[in-house]
């Protein structure tokens, strides 16, 4: 079949005698249909004119128009919807003919005849670029405010300068290496910035004490994760996974941590990720009571504590990340 013929077969044709198809093709929103296996079979003119992708392409038939960074996630969601016979909804970026990308909300509905046969999919692609830009601007403003709060907490605790930014950056990179999606990465960053927010409830006498803490002082210090969760929740926009990180970042893989003595996968994943990064930065930073460990010494300690203090899979991923950068 020649390219023009293939395009005509794939794009819903404009046939005045076919009122239904005429209506579909005239719709300003992008429309598509797929078969029971998930392969796209038809698109309307709005899709064709925007993307230039019509028939004869790889995979399910829409991959050529996807932003490369969105492809793996999009395919995973689409395959799951097809396999489970569930309706489909996702946001991803589509390339238009000039090579630029815009965000779209893509929805698909599974349909069948009364006997449950002739299964197919029908769907829409709605431009949400302006909405996404507004959301991203809001997210950046919130993160900037949270970062400022984290830096203030760092200054009060007399942490080594840059600790907050370093642990947040390393946490995000480790989260990416572990395959976290965008919402999880955002929650990881917010939780990292605010991980010690609960120390606001700890008096300077205890927080800045140069010597060992007594039992009462240690009890006050051990309460800071739960207090931090409570303070962060009061901000009203911190997502639940970030609150979990704040509450659980002192839990240990072997169950000997605090505040709840959680162990193994009872500990939220974001807290497991952050704990490794937080300890690595603490070890490699100079403090009044210790010298800065070399990266090699710190990595050896992480290996030793894998399966004790830390999730061994997270430690392994962090080691690979550092080794890839020659650390």
Residue pLDDT, tens place only, 5-39: 344 444 444 344 455 567 777 777 899 999 999 99
Q: What is the pLDDT of residue 89?
A: 95
Phi, psi of 260 (to 5 degrees): -115, 5
Do 161 and 89 belong together in one domain?
A: no
**Residues 192, 270: Cα–Cα separation, whole Å:** 9
> Running DSSP on this structure, what letter comes out for residue 50?
H
Of the candidates 122, 130, 93, which has an alpha carbon nearest to the alpha carbon of residue 27? 122
Residues in the chain: 327
pLDDT of residue 133: 94
Residues 147, 49 within the same domain? no
**Final residue in a domain of this structure, among 79, 94, 127:** 127
Question: If we measure between CA atoms, which residue out of 155, 149, 161 comes closest to residue 194?
Answer: 149
> In this predicted structure, what is the pLDDT of residue 18?
55
Residue pair 29/125 in contact (Cβ under 8 Å)? The answer is yes
Concatenate the DSSP letters of all residues of 254-266 into one string.
Answer: TS--SSS---GGG
Model pLDDT, residue 20: 59
Tell me which of 79, 112, 127 is where a domain ends: 127
| Residues 117 and 254 both lie in one domain | no
The tokens 């490794």 sit on which residue?
276
* Same domain (yes/no): 80, 155: no
Q: What's the CA gap between 30 and 280, in Å, rounded?
A: 49
Within this chain, do residues 115 and 215 fall inside the same structural domain, yes or no? no
| Domain C-terminal end among 85, 112, 127 | 127
Q: Which domain holds residue 106?
A: 3-127
pTM check: above 0.75:
no
Report the CATH number at residue 47: 3.30.450.20
> Can you give the pLDDT at residue 326?
62
Instruction: Flag residues of the chain having pLDDT under 50.
Output: 1-17
* pLDDT single digits (tens) 248-302: 999 999 999 999 999 999 999 999 999 999 999 999 987 766 788 999 999 999 9
Give the bridge partners for 125, in sequence order: 30, 106
Overall number of domains in the chain: 2
The whole-number pLDDT of residue 115 equals: 65
What does DSSP say about strands 40-43 and 88-95: parallel, antiparallel, or unpaired?
Answer: unpaired
């Amino acid at each position: 079949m020649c390219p023009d013929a293939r395009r005509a077969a794939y794009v819903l044709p404009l046939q005045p005698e076919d009122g239904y198809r005429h209506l579909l093709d005239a719709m300003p929103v992008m429309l598509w249909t797929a078969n029971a296996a998930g392969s796209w079979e038809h698109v309307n003119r709005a899709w064709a004119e925007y993307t230039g992708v019509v028939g004869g392409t790889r995979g399910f038939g829409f991959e050529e128009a996807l932003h490369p960074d969105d492809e793996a996630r999009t395919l995973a969601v689409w395959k799951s919807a097809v396999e489970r016979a569930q309706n489909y909804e996702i946001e991803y970026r589509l390339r238009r003919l000039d090579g630029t990308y815009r965000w779209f909300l893509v929805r698909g509905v599974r349909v069948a005849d009364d006997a449950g046969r002739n299964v197919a999919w029908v769907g829409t692609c709605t431009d949400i670029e302006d909405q996404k830009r507004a959301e991203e601007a809001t997210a950046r403003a919130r993160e900037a405010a949270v970062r400022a709060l984290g830096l203030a907490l760092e200054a009060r605790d007399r942490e080594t300068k840059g600790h907050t930014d370093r642990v947040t950056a390393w946490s995000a990179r480790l989260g990416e290496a572990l395959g976290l999606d965008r919402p999880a990465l955002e929650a990881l960053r917010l939780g990292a910035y605010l991980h010690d927010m609960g120390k606001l409830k700890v008096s300077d006498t205890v927080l800045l004490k140069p010597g060992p803490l007594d039992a009462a002082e240690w009890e006050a210090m051990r309460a800071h994760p739960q207090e931090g969760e409570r303070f962060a929740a009061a901000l009203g926009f911190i997502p639940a996974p970030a609150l979990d990180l704040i509450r659980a970042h002192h839990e240990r893989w072997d169950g000997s941590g605090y505040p709840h003595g959680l162990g193994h996968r009872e500990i939220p994943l974001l807290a497991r990720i952050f704990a490794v990064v937080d300890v690595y930065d603490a070890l490699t930073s100079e403090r009044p009571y210790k010298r800065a460990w070399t990266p090699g010494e710190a990595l050896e300690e992480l290996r030793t504590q894998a399966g004790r203090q830390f999730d061994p899979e997270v430690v392994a991923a962090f080691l690979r990340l550092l080794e890839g950068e020659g650390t």
